[in-house]
Amino acid sequence: MSTMREFDPGRQASWLLRSKVSQPRLAARVIARNRLIDLIDADLNRLIVIDASAGYGKSTLLLQLAAHFGLRGEFVSWLNIDETDRNTDNFLAGLISSIEAAGLRLPSLTEVSV
């Protein structure tokens, strides 16, 4: 006999947030973007914006870049942004979750001294 679970918005939000901070899998056969990875790696002191139409390999490049940094033992944070992230609270919750999912511990607001 199955029992129906009550709707738990916290549980649903937790699942949804985990899906937003999980990197997609890199396909087995992709074009290596070593030149672009080297260019980005050489200029990490700047904000880098990757902008192109669908299908041009943005996610593939970012996954390869994440793997490149991961091999060096660096933390890599991933956040899939969607329409709900226009809301600042949603965006910040996702950003914090992605940083924590990468293995970095952020201090709570009570730990931060002004």
Q: What is the pLDDT of residue 9?
A: 44
Encode pLDDT of 102-113 as tens digits. Answer: 888 888 766 666
HSE, CB side, 13 Å, CA atoms: give it for residue 45.
Answer: 1
Mean pLDDT of 90-105: 88
Encode pLDDT of 18-42 as tens digits. Answer: 788 888 888 888 889 999 999 888 8
Q: Is the Cα torsion angle 24, 94, 101, 11 positive or negative in sign? A: negative
Ranges of H-type helices in the chain: 9-20, 34-42, 58-71, 88-101
Which two structure tokens, joined as six digits, stand for 50?
């990757």
Question: How much of the chain, in percent, has pLDDT values that exceed 70?
Answer: 82
Task: Say if residues 23 and 63 touch (Cβ distance below 8 Å).
Answer: yes
Q: What is the pLDDT of residue 4?
A: 47
Encode pLDDT of 51-67 as tens digits. Answer: 889 999 899 999 999 99
* pLDDT exceeds 80 at position 114: no
